[in-house]
Amino acid sequence: MEPSLNGKKSGTKGSVLIMNDYEVLQKIKENGICAIVRGTTSDKMCKIADALLEGGVTTIEVTFNTPGAAEMIQELVQKYSDRMLIGAGTVLDSETAKVAIVSGASFILSPTLNVEMIKTCQRYSVLPVPGVTTPTEALTAWENGARIVKVFPAGVLGPNYIKQLKGPLSQIEMMAVGGVNVENFGDFIKAGATSAGIGGELVNKKLVEANDFKTITERAASFVKVFQGAVQSA
């Protein structure tokens, strides 16, 4: 299946807001928090989005190891593209990236470095965020066109690891993902991460199953407060 996009440009298509990859990158940096939604069902997705928005989180990622991920992204794009930045996660190859792009995802995250995935995203002006752990992987991603990388697993590596990476690789924007919580989030931002992807510490599966969206809103607001404070102090 080939994406029906010819160089994605800024503007609107019907009621859907479309941004190019540079604009999406700026939004990710501005928002600072990407909510990772994994393993949920379509009937819960809009409730999750509403809870995040109420708490001030405006970037959301649906992982592709979630059944029906493409359809959920399509629904989010139709209903929330004027208020939220919507992306796809756990994208392991260029074929899955194409499906995500057709679904309307504005950015594509992967836990690994796949150069073909980066090239596919570039072809349609969709922001690729490949996963890296080492300096070599980060530079390889940059040399192949990625302008932001997902440092994973950030919780294991720690904030100081990102600080050390940013020393020789200051030109590369970094998103901390994996094990980021409200206690260490600010340290990652102060260490040089431009943003963080946050999963279970924000959109907790048990909270969703219990329809406790109020707590998700409260958690979102807590992360936003930490981000704003870290940016100011940095």
**Enzyme catalytic residues:** 61, 150
Is residue 67 within 8 A of residue 230, CB to CB? The reply is no
Please provide the distance, in angstroms rounded to a whole number, between the alpha carbons at the two ends of the chain: 45
- What would the two tokens of residue 12 be? 């609107």
Map tokens 């963080």 to a residue. Answer: 196
Whole-number Cα distances in Å, 223 to 39, 56, 85, 125, 220: 22, 9, 17, 29, 5
Q: Distances in Å between the alpha carbon of 145 and those of 63, 117, 124?
A: 22, 11, 13
Name the pairing type of β-strands 148-151 and 11-13: unpaired
